[in-house]
Structure 1
Amino acid sequence: MDQTDIVSRRTLLGTGAATAAGLLAGCSGRSSGGTQTDESATDAAEPTATATPEQHSVTMAPVGTVEFDEVPERWVPFTGDYADMGVALGQADGLAGIGVPARYGSHLYEELPGVSVDTDAMTALYSEGTDKETFYSIDADVHVIDPNFAINRLGWSQGDVDELADNVGPFVGNTGFTHVYDWHDDYRYYSMYETLEVLAELFDERARYEAFAAYHDEILADVESRLPEARPDIALLYPAGVPPEGFYPYLVGEGTTSKQWRDLGVGDALAADGITDAQAGGGTIDFETLLDIDPDALAIRLQGEVSETYFDEEIRTPLEEHDVASDLTAVQNDRVIYAGLTYQGPIIHLFQLEAAAQGLYPEEFGGEQLFDRERVADIVTGEFDG
C-alpha cells in the first residue's frame, strides 16, 4: 500500500470493505521485515506526519496516512502504554477511556508535581468483553489503537473496525508492547520513542516530544555508563496465582514492555532455556522447571499499584518458605524483585527503569532517584524551554 494514501477523519475505511481490508492488511509492502529494535530516542525514524493550515495528517502502520480537519482533542487508547504517551505529551484532559484502568500505572504520576489522571472518571473499555456501543458513547476524535489488536485480541470483526472508523473516529496505533503476535508479522514495529514521535505529530506536540527524547537519552547514557560488567540472567514472570505456585513466562525480547531490562543489559534465562512466551501460547511453568533453569534473579510482574509490603508478604516470603522455590539461587541471594507493569510509555518507563536498576544493582543504584521528577513534570505541564 502506498504511504501517501489519505483517509479523512470521519471517512477512514469508509470506502468499502475491499479498500478497508487493503488499508489494514496491505501495508506489508513497506515493512520489508523492518522491525525496529533501536530504543535510542535520538535514532528515531524520519518524521511520519505533516501538518498545514488546511490539513493535519499522521502516518503509522498498519493503517497508513490519516487526515484530520484539526488536531484531535478527545482520544481513547486501549492499553496503558499509549495512555502514558498521551499524558507525556500534555493530553491528559482529552483522555476519555482506557481498556482496563487497573492495568494503567497512573498512580506513578503522584510523584510528579501538577500531573494527575483520574482513572475513575474514565470509561473502562473492557468489561467481560469490549463492545462498540462503548466507543459510540465516548465519541472520540481518534482511537489510539492498532485495529489489528482490536480484531485479534478483542474479538472484533473487520466490519466493526470499519464502522467505528467511519462513524466515530479513525484508528491510529501499532501494537508494540510485545513482538510475539504472529498477526503482526507483515507490518513494521515501532520503538517506544518512534511511537511517541508519531503521537507528537498527531497531537501537534513536537516540542514536548523532543524534550522527553533528550532527557531519556541523557538518563540512559548515565545509567549505561554505570552498569557493572557482570550482569544477571533474569526470569521475567507473572504469577499464575498469589501466593504463587506457578508462573506465566515472559521473555525479555523486543517490545516496549521489556525496554528497561534491555536498557540494563540483562540476559534472558527463560529464552536461553527455550521457554515460550506466554503471549505466544506458552503455558505456565512450575518451581521444578525454574529450579532446572535457576536464574540469577526473578523479576515478578504484577498489575496495578503494588506496595513493598504486599510484595514481601505475597511473593518473597512464600518463595522463601516453599520447599522447592527456597532452593532457587535468586531466592537464596535475595534477588526476587518487583518487575513492574506490562504497559509503559516514556513516563512510566523512567519509574520502572529506576526500580529495576535499584533492584538488580543495589550497590550502584540502591536508593537513588535516577531522574528529576520536577523536570519530567515540567515537560508534561508545558513549563519548559523548548
Structure 2
Amino acid sequence: MSDDNETIRQEAPTRRDYVKYGGAVVGGGLLAGCTGDGGGDSSGDDTSAEETEPEDESYSVTMEPVGEVEFEEPPETWIPYTGDYADMGVALGRADGLEAIGVSARFGAHLYEELPDVSVEKDDLTELYDEGTGKEVFYELDADLHVVDPNFMINRLEWSEDDVEEIRENVAPWFGNTVFTQVYDWHDYRYYSLYEAFEKLSEVFGEEERYEAFQAYHDEVLERVRSRLPDEGPDIAILVPAETPPESYYPYRIGAGTQSKQWRDLEVGDALAENDVVDAQAGGGTIDYETLLDIDPDAIAVRIEGEISDEHFQSNIVDHLEDHDVASDLSAVQDGRVFYAGQTYQGPIIHLFQLEMAARGVYPDEFGDEELFDRQRVADIVNGDA
C-alpha cells in the first residue's frame, strides 16, 4: 500500500490532493482499527535528490477505527455527520470550512447565538440525510476530510465497505469514532471521551492551542459546578417523546457516551438503568406512562432535537403531563421537576450550554437561572483571542 501511496503523491502533488489521499496509508486497516506504516522503504533514495526536494512537512494522526491518517497540510473543507464533531470543529475555529451535516436539526448551532462573533448558518450547510445518504453528495461537496466513523456509515447508514473505500480513495479520508453512545454491538474497538476525540481533531487541524484552552476552561467550570452539588443527587429519567404531545417515550440511559456527559458531571442517578429499562439505541422499545409510574423517577429530563422554545416545551410537554390522567401522578410532575434535556450531540461548546441547562433543571434551588460559564471567554477561545 505504501508504494501505491507514493505513486499517488507523484501524480497529484497539489495541496488538495495531498490532503485527499493522505488517508491511503491505512489501507485495509480502515475499518478494523489497524495502523498503517505510513511509508515505504527509502533505503535506495538518491542523496542528491533528497537535497533538492522541499522539506517534508507531512504529519499523521491516529484514531481508531481508521488507524493512521496522513496529511500534508491541515484540511480546509470538512464534513462531519453528527453534531458532536461539527461542534468540535467550530470550537477549533474551523467553522468557515464546515460544508455539511447529517441532519441539521440535530446540530445545536443555535446556541452559538449567545457567543459574541461566533456563528454557523445551518441553512448554508448541505444536509446529508434525505431518506438515506448516498455517495453522490460526497463527490459533489469534494471536501478535504470526512469527520465520520466509517463504521457508522456502514452500520447506521447501510453503506458497504466498498462504498466507504471508494469515497476514501476518490474524495478524502475518513477520520472519526462514534462516541455519542456506547450501546452499539458493532462498536468493538476503543471509545474516546468527548475531550479525547476533541484532542484528536485538534491535531488534524493543527489547533492544539485552542484545544488546550478549552480543556483548561472546561476543567475550571466543572470544578466550580461540582463544588456546589449536594452529597446525593436525584434519580432521573432521560426520555425522548415518540410523538407530540407524547403518549410514549424512547428511553435513554445515562451511559458512558458523550451524549450523557453533563449528567455524569452532575452525579445524578439513572432511574431507567436501575429498573432495567433497555436503552432505545440498544434496541429498546418505547415506554408509556404506566411504566414510568412504576419507575417514578425523581426528575424527568425530556430530550428534543432542534431549537425548542420555552413556550413549546411548556405547552407540549409540561402542561400535557400535568393534565394527563396517569402522568399527573408522577412524582416528578407533581414536584415540578420536568425539564428540557437538550440534544444528543455535543462537542465542547454545546456541552457547556447543556451542562448549565442540566444543572438548572436538576438543582433549581442551587443554580436557578445563573450563567455557569463566561460566554465571552468561550468566544475568545474559538476566535483565537484567548
C-alpha contact 1:14 1:163 (8 A) present in aligned 2: no
Q: What is the CA deviation profile of residues 98-128 of structure 1, one whole-angstrom value per residue up to 9, with x for unaligned ones?
A: 0011110000000000000011111110011
Retained in 2: the 8 A contact 1:14–1:162?
A: no
Matching of residue 97 in structure 1 with residue 100 in structure 2 = yes
Residue number in structure 2 paired with 1:54: 57
What does residue 293 of structure 2 align with? 291
Which residue does the alignment assign to 1:25? Answer: 32
2:126 partner amino acid: T
Q: 1:23: how far off?
A: 2.9
Offset at residue 230 of structure 1 (A): 2.9
Give the match's secondary structure for 2:79.
strand
Contact 1:249 1:277 in 2 (8 A): yes
Cross-structure match for 1:142: 145
2:385 maps to a residue whose letter is E
Ranked by relative contact order (alpha carbons within 8 Å, sequence separation 6 or more), the top structure is 1
Structure 2: distance between partners of 1:22 and 1:63:
7
- The partner residue of 1:227 within 226, 229, 249 is 229
Contact 1:58 1:67 in 2 (8 A): yes
1:180-235 deviation digits (Å, cap 9, x = unpaired):
000002x1000000011001100000110000000000000001110012310000
Residue pair 2:64, 2:176 contacting (<8 A) in 1 also? yes
Counterpart in the other structure of 2:91? 88
1:243-282 maps to which residues of 2 (within 5 A)? 243-282=245-284
Deviation digits for residues 282-326 of structure 1 (CA, Å, limit 9, x no counterpart): 000000000000000000000000111110000000000000000
Distance in 1 between residues matched to 2:361 and 2:371, nearest whole Å: 13
Provide closer, same or farther for how the CA distance between residues 9 and 24 of structure 1 changes in structure 2, counting only shifts above 3 A.
Answer: farther
Shift of 1:9: 4.3
Alpha-carbon contact 1:89-1:208 (below 8 Å) kept: yes
**Distance in 2 of aligned mates of 1:168 and 1:104:** 24
1:124-163 alpha-carbon deviations (Å, 9 max, x no partner): 1001110000010111111000000000001100001000
Q: What amino acid sits opposite 1:71 in the alignment?
A: P
Contact 2:342–2:354 (8 Å) recurs in 1? yes
SS of the counterpart of 2:267?
A: coil
Residue 21 of structure 1, CA deviation: 4.4
Counterpart amino acid of 1:110? E
Q: Which residue of 2 aligns with 1:178?
A: 181
Gap change, CA 1:11 and 1:207, over 3 Å in 2? closer
CA contact (8 A) 2:24 2:173 kept: no
Aligned residues of 1:20 and 1:162 also touching (Cα < 8 A): no
**Compared CA separation, residues 12 and 275, structure 1 to 2 (3 A):** farther
Deviation digits for residues 45-103 of structure 1, max 9, x if unmatched?
Answer: xxxxxxx9520211100011100121111000000000000000000000000001111
- The offset of 1:362, in angstroms, is 1.0
- Residue of 237, 240, 246 corresponding to 1:238: 240
| Structure 2 Cα separation of the partners of residues 92 and 59 of structure 1 | 23
Indicate conservation of the 8 Å contact 1:300/1:339, yes or no.
Answer: yes
Aligned pair count reads: 353
Q: Which of 178, 184, 199 is the matching residue for 2:201?
A: 199
**C-alpha distance in 2 between matches for 1:290 and 1:202:** 45
User: Take 2:383 and 2:277, find their aligned partners in 1: how far apart are those partners?
Assistant: 43
Listed as ranges, the gaps of 5+ residues in structure 2 are 9-17, 36-54
Q: Which amino acid aligns with 1:367?
A: D
Q: Distance in 1 between matches of 2:29 and 2:117?
A: 44
Indicate the residue corresponding to 2:320 in structure 1: 318
Percent identical among aligned pairs is 65
For residue 10 of structure 1, report the CA deviation from its aligned partner.
3.7
Whether contact under 8 Å (1:56, 1:71) holds in the other structure is no
8 Å contact kept, 1:12–1:166: no
- 1:226 is paired with a residue of what secondary structure? coil
Q: Say whether 1:328 aligns with 2:330.
A: yes
Letter in 2 for 1:164: I
The unaligned stretches of length 5 or more in structure 1 are 29-51
Separation in 2 of the partners of 1:249 and 1:97? 29
Which residue of 60, 77, 80 corresponds with 2:80?
77
| Equivalent runs, 1:122-161 vs 2, <5 Å | 122-161=125-164
Partners of 2:337 and 2:56 in 1: CA distance: 55
Q: CA deviation at 1:26?
A: 5.0
Match of 1:110 among 104, 107, 113: 113
Describe the shift of the 1:14–1:214 C-alpha distance in structure 2 as closer, same or farther (beyond 3 A). Answer: closer
Alpha-carbon distance between aligned partners in 2 of 1:379 and 1:14, rounded to the nearest angstrom: 33
Helix, strand or coil at the partner of 1:340: coil
Q: Distance in 1 between matches of 2:382 and 2:268?
A: 30
Partner Cα separation in structure 2 for residue 302 and residue 374 of structure 1: 27
